[in-house]
Amino acid sequence: MANRLRHAGLIVSLALLIGIVAGCGGAKQEPAKTNPPATPAQQVASQPAKAPALSAKPGDWKPDGVIADNEYAQMQQFGEFEVYSRIDGDKVRMALKAKTNGYLAIGFEPAQRMQDADIILGFVKDGKATVADMFSTGPTGPHPPDEQQGGKNDVTVFGGNNKDGVTIIEFERKLDTGDAKDKVIKIGDNKIIWAISEEAAFSGKHSKRGGGVLKL
């Protein structure tokens, strides 16, 4: 009797073992999950924007608010404010660029803070660029247009563009305008101040500002 029980136990154990092995071998394995390859559009979107190429002998200049390859000779960055520049004879041509939907401004040779700075301020609103030639009368302004202070407007060629929250203002001006409300822009070091506003209006307050030395 005992032998029969032991024999039956061995049969049950063997049957269970066979079932376990069979179950393991027959289990369906889930395929490894992989992300689908990125589409060409996704690959382009993930890549950082390519910086425009610069040239010691820049090509055609177009004040259209688009900085093309080889349109400028150099670029300097002041925080979030970019300045592209080139010298053509007795003129300087520039592009100001920053992430904003408001105005961009650059001031040349201030005495103290904004005092006596020769300011060029521009913005794009409803697809139209507006640029003014200004002069600051105090350390914190105001900076009325030159024409309201006995000077003249020496920034008459300009353009701009606002796209994807980035504004670009392009303009040209003589290095030496002969205007008492303008500073001579030198080939070499120029002390500057700059400002960025979120408002596309001359009356807007700047949200960011700074200064530095612009090398031409």
* 193 bridge partner residues: 107, 211
Q: Could you tell me if 158 and 171 are in contact, meaning their C-beta atoms sit under 8 angstroms apart?
A: yes
CB 198 within 8 A of CB 165: no
Radius of gyration of the chain (CA): 34
Residue 192, CA distances (Å) to 83, 113, 136 in order: 11, 10, 13
Distance, CA of 49 to CA of 43 (rounded, Å): 12
pLDDT at 8: 45
Residue 163 has pLDDT above 50, yes or no: yes
Structure tokens at 10: 């061995």
pLDDT confidence of residue 39: 60
Residue 20 has a pLDDT of 39
Determine the 3-state secondary structure of 16 from DSSP.
helix
For the cut 90, the answer to whether the pLDDT of residue 11 exceeds it is no
May I ask the CATH architecture of the domain 51-215?
Sandwich (2.60)
Q: Where are the beta strands (DSSP E) in the chain?
A: 74-78, 81-88, 91-99, 104-108, 118-125, 128-135, 157-163, 166-174, 189-197, 206-215
What is the mean pLDDT of the segment spanning 70-86? Answer: 98
d(C-alpha 134, C-alpha 137), whole Å? 10
pLDDT for the residue numbered 141? 83
Range of lowest pLDDT (8-17, 109-118, 197-206): 8-17
